[in-house]
Structure 1
Amino acid sequence: MSTLTPALLAGLLDDAAVFPPGNAPLGRAVADHAAHLRSPYAGAVGPLLVRPDDLARTGETDVAVVTGLDEVHTAVAAAGPRLRWLEVALPASATPGEVRSLASLGTDVFVEVPRDDRAEAVLAELGVAGLWAKFRTGGVRADLHPSEAELAVGITTAVAFGVPFKATAGLHHAVRRTDPETGFEEHGFLNLLVATGRAVDGATTADVEAALAARDEAAVAAAALALDPAVREAFHSFGTCSISDPLTELARLDLLPDAWREGAA
């Protein structure tokens, strides 16, 4: 089997080591991140994701800051030139139109799409403002894992509005599975790539949902191999508390570029 191209995997993995369930101490996360950037697979590694309170202790490391709507200006000032982007959570009281103010911050901004009746309106506002979306795809509770149907609607709507997106949480494996210990239904990161490719190609929401639901590893791998790297213009990246885990999954499926294998599996 051929491997996935570096272009398809470039910057796909945002280093969320300090966030659950990894919860790495910040000092270790900074050191490990530097090691990832010196590795053969450095091309797959995005910035270190941190909270605003972490910024004073991250040295010269490039960062993306996960923050609330009220803290964005403070975060931008504190991060300075190291800031790659912001990831902003909306409070329950925020209206969709409030996201437009984020376009004036002078940096890329991912807005977490709320899982309520504001979702479509928020995505529409992001499209108008030239901002990006963030979908929560899992977490430490079962209810934090959206169904295939819910996520399919989000992906197709984002693509329709021309809103690039990233994903966060729960993407511990390449292909959709039921976690044998927790019973959680977990999305696969390759499923998301394939589903996004289908949405970009104009597939129906039902087809996108089917791509998210697929559990046959060989079939999902084959579909991923057929993707145009341009799909990454829609699916930007995903946060992972372990950079090595998704690379190990790709190596197990014989999809990891040969030049990246050393130290990744």
Structure 2
Amino acid sequence: MESINRLTHGLVDYAGLFPPAGLGMAQAVSNYSDYRRRPDAGMLGRFVLPASRLDEFADAAAEHLPRGTHAEPWLLAVLLTDKFEDEIPAILKFNCSHWVDSPSGHALIDTVEIKASRPESVAQIRKTLPDFYRAFIEIPPDQQSPDLFSAIRGATFSAKIRTGGTEENAFPPGSAIVEFMKACRHHGIAFKATAGLHHVVCSSYPLTYQPGSASAEMFGFLNIFAAAIFLFHGSPDADVLAVIQERDPSAFVFDENGMRWRSSSVSAAQIDRARKEFAISFGSCSFTEPVEEFARLLAHTSTPSA
């Protein structure tokens, strides 16, 4: 279905190395290789890893990476630290050794993610990072100043919001997410989200995979991305917040023409534009959870085309 394909294409950046999954490199790489062959692989985005583990990734991925002139590379998103000036050469070296026809296999780091709380920090990142890379700047929840968003604005730079974690206090209020999205829209900035979005719709879920884990109210990835799409196309703040907080899966309905949330709707073309220009992806430690939950939701809420 066109509306679903446009909503979900490349939506899930696989972050299996990170909590709560916390997988070893070999297992995470093997999983990603398997996911690329699934029927729902269209939802799979980049493999996320820290810059400090690039050599480990190269060793683990050697038997999995595609080879040959026409091979589609694995796309990687690499997390940088405040030592990014020392980490960038390692990224360049990795790309050079994993180019087309490389005996090491074909992989490409085209995206980096890094935290910054001051405009000056963003300026230094921009000065140091080659233009080839897209950078997602993670903005701390208490540092969402207009000056910081203004510093991010510009070619190849986007914003990043953390929407959860393994502790209840890691989840921001829905109103803070609305304000973040509004600031991004005002400044013409795209964004990605990360953490706590491995379920489809807002509800109370266990914080970790450990037996007896505490639970907390989590946002669903459908809530976040539907809200972003409606905001991008001019929906009022109150409606955007209501989408973020929606707990009823049946409130979201898809058909060939688009997506509906209660009495509001967007077309497939509007979904496509918002995904390409505004709401890019989310990082998840699980690929199967969000994808399979979404499939179950669609089985009950989508409307077949005529």
Common fold by TM > 0.5: yes
**Change in 2 beyond 3 A, CA 1:97/1:208:** farther
Q: Does residue 76 of structure 1 match 2:124?
A: no
Q: What is the TM-score when the length of structure 2 is the normalising length?
A: 0.76
Q: Which one of 139, 142, 145 corresponds to residue 168 of structure 2?
A: 142
Equivalence for 1:8:
7
Equivalence for 1:117:
143
Unaligned runs of 5+ in 1: 259-265
What fraction of aligned residue pairs are identical, expressed as a percent? Answer: 28
Q: Residues of 2 paired with 1:54 and 1:221: CA distance? A: 41
Equivalence for 2:130:
105
Match for 2:18: what amino acid?
F
Q: Which one of 269, 272, 275 corresponds to residue 229 of structure 1?
A: 272
Unaligned runs of 5+ in 2: 59-64, 66-73, 97-107, 207-212
Q: Which has the higher strand share?
A: 2
Equivalence for 1:36:
35
Q: Which one of 217, 236, 242 corresponds to residue 204 of structure 1?
A: 236
- Alpha-carbon deviation of 1:221? 4.0
CA deviations 1:148-188 (Å, max 9, x no partner) are: 10111001111121111111000121111122653312011
Q: Residues of 2 paired with 1:145 and 1:241: CA distance? A: 16
Q: Residues of 1 paired with 2:147 and 2:252: CA distance? A: 32
- Alpha-carbon deviation of 1:208? 1.6
Equivalence for 1:22:
21
Q: Which one of 72, 79, 87 corresponds to residue 66 of structure 1?
A: 79
Contact 1:96 / 1:118 at 8 angstroms: preserved in 2? no
Q: What is the TM-score when the length of structure 1 is the normalising length?
A: 0.87
> RMSD between aligned alpha carbons?
2.3
**Change in 2 beyond 3 A, CA 1:101/1:216:** same
Contact 1:190 / 1:221 at 8 angstroms: preserved in 2? no
Aligned residues: 253
**Change in 2 beyond 3 A, CA 1:170/1:119:** farther
Equivalence for 1:262:
none
For the pair shown, the structure with the greater C-alpha radius of gyration is: 2
- Judge which range, 149-158 or 69-78, deviates more: 69-78
